[in-house]
Structure 1
Amino acid sequence: MTQAQSEDFARLYLATPRLAEVEAFLPRLAAALAAAEVASLLLRLDNLEGSAAERAVGAIAEITQPAGVALLIEGDPELVSRCGADGLHLPYDEKRLAAASKRLSPDYIVGVGGLSTRDEAMRAGEAGADYLLFGDVGENGAPPPLEWTAERVAWWAEIFNTPCVAFARSLAEVGPLSAAGAEFVLLAEAVWDDPRGPAEAVRDAARLAREAGR
């Protein structure tokens, strides 16, 4: 997952639902990744540990790796290194970020979300995060409106080189966030809960990102 320097639109980054098991999810994931180009996938496991978590990561990787999709795992640096995933995603915490970077960088991606203030974003960037996610939380800890996320993305993209990811809560937000300067747009429930199915949602998201440009 690197900065999309050769393209003038945001690339897609999908986040799975929180999964207590992955088997039933695999066909939906395969359909989504076959529908349009996806740069990265964030795997969010729910109460899976040890060998069960390793098997889950392995099953997901069998779909992401042939598709050229970077696989990141939420929260567990040991699972990343044990299972050969491509990286880790963490909510912002100075000590956890420092420990994860020391353990995983430069061989693995270390991305950070949960950035409610500009000061936190700058600290995360200075600490060596490989990307910053905006829009998963706002300044009061609640989901922020589109305008807040777009403003934060535009501010970051204009000043800093570290890639930024923008969280789109709906397909309608993909275009504005791409236009604001996000290198990647993260989609979660907007894809998996789409009544048309994840493949159609991903196709639409890719189209909207390309049409908006940056």
Structure 2
Amino acid sequence: MTDRTPPNRCRLVLIAPSGEDAESFGPRLLEAAAGGDVASLILPARAGEAAFQDFAAPIVRIAQEAGIAAIVAGDTRIAGRVGADGIHLEMAKDELRQAVERWQGRMIVGTGGATTRDDALELGETQPDYMFFGRFGFDTKPEPHRRNLALGAWWAELVEIPCIVLGGSDVSSVEAVAATGADFVALSSAVFGPDADPRAAVEQANAILDRTAPRFGN
């Protein structure tokens, strides 16, 4: 979190882009953090354990120093080694249940990968800390995917476990996600794309959410 008092509405989650090393991404993450409230940063898994750890270690540190929870995807060992705040795991229900039982309490344990309501409910039975609707790297269109919006709206209405819904490549897509009642909207290319200004994008996203997002508990 980049604010001591988080806003009582849908908040931003950032997803690190693929193909960047820590030296180039670190400064852009700091720019994004300077733009306003960011709840967490997800680091999607990369090929090669050593390379992923080399990337994750400094980025986790930068995120945490900026008050942003750092979540490592796909590798519990690396998450532990780099001192991440959480792990994101997409796996079968029984495996996920074991991971939740082992790691929850020490780390945030989130999951995703569900493309239907039944799949989401199955995974939700393991009591993860959040459910993610979307696929890393698939925010290639300006607007959020309609299926993700529908799943997020359904989940937010019926299930207490928080959900994150992937936005689109345009910052304005946060408005449609927030309207579903989702707890968090995830942005990646909208903030870290080749032509994006990370600080300006986060500022704009928060301004839109401040203006349009429903307040929780009201």
Residue number in structure 2 paired with 1:186: 186
How far apart, CA to CA, are the structure 2 residues paired with 1:90 and 1:128?
A: 13
> Which range is displaced more, 56-65 or 198-207?
56-65
In structure 1, the residue matched to 2:68 is 69
Q: After the TM superposition, which residues 38-49 of structure 1 pair with which residues of structure 2 at under 5 Å, given as runs?
A: 38-49=38-49
- Contact 1:146-1:173 at 8 Å conserved across structures: no
Structure 2: distance between partners of 1:197 and 1:69: 19
Q: In the alignment, what sits opposite 2:32?
A: 32
1:168 aligns with 2:167: yes
Q: Contact 2:43–2:72 (CA<8 Å) still a contact in 1?
A: yes
SS in 2 for 1:119: helix
Q: In structure 1, the residue corresponding to 2:161 is in which secondary structure?
A: coil
Residue 18 in structure 1 maps to residue 18 in structure 2: yes
Tell me whether 194-203 or 152-161 shows the greater mean CA deviation: 194-203
Give % identity. Answer: 36
| CA distance in 2: counterparts of 1:106 and 1:62, whole angstroms | 20
Give yes or no for the alignment of 1:209 onto 2:217: no
CA distance in 2, matches of 1:145, 1:20: 24
Q: Secondary structure at the match of 1:177?
A: helix
1:124 aligns with 2:96: no
Alpha-carbon distance in 1 for matches of 2:134, 2:79 = 24
Cα distance in 2, alignment partners of residues 102 and 90 from structure 1: 13
Relative to its length, the structure with more strand (as a share) is: 1
Give the letter for the 1:191 counterpart.
Answer: V
Rounded Cα–Cα distance in structure 2 between residues aligned with 1:34 and 1:82: 27
1:159 counterpart = 2:138: no
In the alignment, structure 1 segments of 5+ residues that lack a partner are 138-142
| Residues 100 and 128, structure 2, Cα contact 8 Å, conserved in 1 | yes
Q: Which runs of 4+ in 1 moved over 3 A?
A: 52-55, 143-147
| Length-normalised TM-score, structure 1 | 0.86
How far 1:92 moved relative to its partner? 4.2
Conservation of the 8 A alpha-carbon contact between 2:14 and 2:41:
yes
> For the Cα contact (< 8 Å) 2:149–2:177, is it kept in 1?
yes
- How far the C-alpha of 1:195 sits from its partner, in A, is 2.3
**3-state SS of 1:133 partner:** strand
Q: How far off is 1:106 after superposition?
A: 1.8
Taking the aligned partners of 1:45 and 1:134, their CA distance within structure 2 comes to: 17
Deviations 1:98-145 (A, max 9, x none): 2321331121111111110101111111112110011339xxxxx996
AA at the equivalent of 1:128: Q
> Does the aligned pair in 2 maintain the 1:40–1:72 contact within 8 Å?
yes
Q: Secondary structure at the match of 1:41?
A: strand
**Pairing 1:108–2:83 present:** no
Shift of 1:58: 2.3
Q: Is the 8 A contact 1:88 1:109 kept in 2?
A: yes
Deviation at 1:7, TM superposition (A): 4.4
What amino acid does structure 2 have at the position aligned with 1:34?
A: A
Q: Is the 8 A contact 2:60 2:82 kept in 1?
A: no
Conserved in 1, the CA contact under 8 Å of 2:190 and 2:196?
no
Cα separation, 2, equivalents of 1:176 and 1:145: 8
CA-to-aligned-CA distance 1:50-109 (integer Å, 9 cap, x gap): 4x5434322112211122111000100111122210111122422431232133112111
Q: Distance in 2 between matches of 1:100 and 1:182?
A: 24
Match of 1:140 in 2: none
How many residue pairs match? The answer is 204
